[in-house]
Structure 1
Amino acid sequence: MEEKAVTGKFKGDRVIWAVFFFLCIISIIEVFSASSNLSFKSGNYLGPVLKHVMLLAVGVMAMIATMNVKCKYFKMVTPLALVLSFIGLIAVLCFGESTNGSQRWLSILNVQFQPSEFAKGAIVLATAQILSAMQTPNGADKRAFKYILIVCVFIIPLIMIENLSTAALLSLVVLLMMFIGKVPKAQIGRLLGVVMLILIFVVSMVMMLGHDKEKENMAAGQKMAMTEEVVKKDETVVEKVFHRFDTWKSRIDKFLDNKEVAPEDVDLDKDGQTAHANIAIASSNIVGKGPGNSVERDFLSQAFSDFIYAIIIEEMGIAGAAFVCLLYIILLFRTATIANRCVNTFPALLIMGFALLLVVQAMFNMAVAVGLVPVTGQPLPLISKGGTSTIVNCVYIGVILSVSYSAKKKDEDNSSSDSLKDGIRNISKSSNVMGSKASPSSVPLAKIG
């Protein structure tokens, strides 16, 4: 009896459980290895990793609690989640706490959290609900596109002010959800055109208004003094909205600088993050140096967060790095399989949105670590040391497990054959048929996976 109770609490798809378990184990090992700077500063060898383990434990409890919530209740929290996210993002702009030059945190009772992490989940919830409610036999109603844009306009620009990369990744996820939800391609095409124009405008503004202080400091005497005067004036006028332009321009300049630099000429003070990440990757091998044997962790200030994938490559080698990448790919495709089994569109779209949030961010973090895209502040989901992001990402996994459990029950209850396999086959077959008998809640999505 007791065994049945335990298995009842840990229900859901076994593959998702396995992926989550491996990511947590890798996270604990690599955060312990990569937190040498934190251990040195605090004078506590085990302090940073124990704090991370505690946050993971809280995340697991949140995941299990979410996993036991029925899917229909997720719809109910959408309006509240959107309102709280909007209030939280406004509060961050007004009196948020700044860390590493970015104002992204709120502190309540000495507990820091990022409202943007909650806002990402709220946007996915709203997008899934709009698309599912407005499905027709020919795809999503044209009005769904307008409603999704209205929701995004109130949330994403507030995120973009302090965290451009998060806003961009969230926008990409919403776009992919609209494609999966069969929003008319003409509307998506027009949106992509507008987004490209906005992107060009934003980059142009960054390059014009931003100041790459490292380049400007190379200028001589009077010119540098004039530049500093202009910088101060610009910062006084736009410091609340455009104070991140300097950072963005510096990162773009570094990424676009294709000039080859000899190893002995690399400035490890100016380009410390990317330089030491490259050293970590170059010094690895097929199997790496082994867990705990990283050298570059002592020089990378964000070794336990933004650049933890470089440490993974150094310690676990190409094989270990490929395994970590494979885990995220399995997570995405397994979620797609679960989504294809769903009778209703809302749970399918919801879990695909959360899976895309995790996997797109993971791939972007990996691309930063290996130098394919400019440096950003994106951690590696479920692996990097974090606070709000760790717990929220665990909740996303809990939602996926909840839907996987719900979908399996429906297959068993509604199957008209003697085997579960035949039931799933019938559902898959019926989901490919478009006819007048299809109800709005069971209209087929674009093929997932």
Structure 2
Amino acid sequence: MGIRKKFSYLDYYIAIPFLLLIAVGIVMVYSASSDILSVNKIDPTSYLRRQFFWALAGLFFALLAFLSKLSFWQNRRVVMLGIGITFALLIFLVFLKIVHPSSAINGAVSWIPLGPINIQPLEIAKITVIIYLAFIFNKRGQNLERGQIFNNLLGPVVLVGLITLLILLQPDTGGASILALIIMIMIFSAGIPIGFGLSFIVAVSGLLPLLINILKRFPIAVLEKNYRYQRILSFLYPFQREQSGGSQLVNSYLAINNGGWFGRGLGNSIQKKGYLPAPYTDFILAIISEELGVIGVLVVLGLLFFLISRIVLIGMRAHTTFRTLVCYGVATMLFVQASFNIAGVIGMLPITGVTLPFISYGGSSMLSACAAIGLVLNISGTEKAEKQFQEMRKVQ
């Protein structure tokens, strides 16, 4: 299929929200970062220019994924090469933490420095795990019946479980949780009997509130110096611990409260002026709320969740297991990441450092999300082309 022909099958219900979200992200990164950069005598357009560069690079990655042949992503050698590279990068991070502990930020080593840029292997892992599981279940889907599940799932689950464990060892709890949920949804979507899935979901849903209640009632003194434990306590008691970790959530609440329904106006946030740490990454949604109000937040989240819903719909209509599972995996990745970010901003989950897709500042997350969208556009276009071909054959 030629390039011009391929573009004729472009899914505008994905492309338009995708481009709008990237544009909103560029504007909001500049708005959220310019004041604090000026105060520190740094070029106020610094993060704007970087985000614009990453957006262009992301669009290039999306274009490559869209124009490529789907058979390329189903090639066993390509899939296993991706898994091998992912393992190598994650093992290197563990090694880097051991030999160079000073590279850790808040106790975690999640980035590999390559000159002027940093690579986050977690973002590569998300895409490779989605493609790997879609490839495996496309081959073994017919064998996922009661009595054969264990033998057919053991190898793939152990492999992706090891990847998740390596991310947890960085340690990156938020990233590991996102990957674990992607794996869980893809496994359940591959044809596992519903009883297995429901049992697991009920068990996890009951365990999390129980653990939170235990931490509230019985603080663990021996963990008082642990950074992640401190984050959990700051989440549980943000106002009582405002001077020792709770200030992020308190200032997020203030930003949301300041914005009201219609916001203070673009560029007029108060909390971004040194009160709210990293307002252009984890808490960019709080700045959107303060400047554009609840209405602005609803528009942004509406675009994002419309995009996710469209991806799910494409997966439901796809004619192969591989295409369906890739769409479900990408939709899960975007949904869970957005949900973690939103929940952190409004105090429903501990702050995990998870960015808001397409909106927050960041290179690796932008590239992986854009590549994922390009792959979904490829699947949508291929499905349209095949449908048109079938209709033409019927006419003849």
Residues 168 and 86 of structure 1, relative CA distance in 2, 3 Å threshold:
same
Distance 1:24 1:186 in 2: 40
Compute the displacement of 1:209 (Å): 8.1
Secondary structure at the aligned position of 1:305 is classed as coil
- Alignment partner of 1:290 is 2:302: no
Gaps of 5+ in 2: 98-102
Residues 365 and 40 of structure 1, relative CA distance in 2, 3 Å threshold:
same
Map 1:354-433 onto structure 2 (within 5 A): 354-415=330-391
**1:59-79 deviations in whole A, cap 9, x for unaligned?**
111111111112121122221
* Residue aligning to 1:113: 119
Segment of structure 1 superposing worse, 167-176 or 145-154: 145-154
Segment of structure 1 superposing worse, 395-404 or 69-78: 69-78
* Residue aligning to 2:109: 103
Compute the displacement of 1:11 (Å): 5.2
Q: Quick one: which of 137, 143, 149 aligns to 2:157? A: 149
Q: Quick one: which of 284, 294, 304 aligns to 1:328? A: 304
Please report the RMSD computed on the Cα atoms of aligned residues, expressed in angstroms: 3.0
Compute the displacement of 1:384 (Å): 0.3
Map 1:229-268 onto structure 2 (within 5 A): 246-257=226-237, 267=242
- Alignment partner of 1:166 is 2:141: no
Counterpart contact for 1:75–1:129, Cα < 8 Å: yes
Segment of structure 1 superposing worse, 201-210 or 298-307: 201-210
Distance 2:156 2:143 in 1: 20
* Residue aligning to 1:38: 37
* Residue aligning to 2:276: 300
Residues 197 and 83 of structure 1, relative CA distance in 2, 3 Å threshold:
farther
The one-letter amino acid of 1:174's match is I
Compute the displacement of 1:271 (Å): 2.4
The one-letter amino acid of 2:167's match is I
- Alignment partner of 1:212 is 2:224: yes
Distance 1:90 1:137 in 2: 32
Secondary structure at the aligned position of 2:40 is classed as helix
Number of residues paired by the alignment? 379
- Alignment partner of 1:280 is 2:280: no
**1:354-376 deviations in whole A, cap 9, x for unaligned?**
12101210111011111111111
Compute the displacement of 1:332 (Å): 1.8
State TM-score, norm by structure 2.
0.86
Distance 1:104 1:138 in 2: 35
Structure of larger gyration radius? 1
Distance 2:307 2:314 in 1: 11
* Residue aligning to 1:236: none
- Alignment partner of 1:353 is 2:351: no
Counterpart contact for 2:235–2:249, Cα < 8 Å: no
- Alignment partner of 1:177 is 2:186: yes
**1:217-271 deviations in whole A, cap 9, x for unaligned?**
xxxxxxxxxxxxxxxxxxxxxxxxxxxxx1221122223338xx5xxx8845642
**1:97-126 deviations in whole A, cap 9, x for unaligned?**
423442111123443111111111111112
Residues 202 and 271 of structure 1, relative CA distance in 2, 3 Å threshold:
closer
**1:138-189 deviations in whole A, cap 9, x for unaligned?**
8696144323311222200111121011111211121112222221234435
Compute the displacement of 1:199 (Å): 7.4
Secondary structure at the aligned position of 1:12 is classed as coil
- Alignment partner of 1:85 is 2:86: yes
Compute the displacement of 1:94 (Å): 1.1
- Alignment partner of 1:57 is 2:56: yes
Distance 1:61 1:413 in 2: 29
Q: Quick one: which of 24, 27, 39 aligns to 1:26? A: 24
Distance 1:115 1:5 in 2: 31
State TM-score, norm by structure 1.
0.77
Gaps of 5+ in 1: 214-245, 420-449
Residues 210 and 417 of structure 1, relative CA distance in 2, 3 Å threshold:
farther
Counterpart contact for 2:269–2:291, Cα < 8 Å: yes
* Residue aligning to 1:126: 132
Distance 2:304 2:243 in 1: 32
Compute the displacement of 1:338 (Å): 1.4
Distance 2:316 2:32 in 1: 39
Segment of structure 1 superposing worse, 184-193 or 88-97: 184-193
* Residue aligning to 2:95: 94
Distance 1:29 1:10 in 2: 30
Residues 136 and 8 of structure 1, relative CA distance in 2, 3 Å threshold:
closer
Counterpart contact for 2:86–2:124, Cα < 8 Å: yes
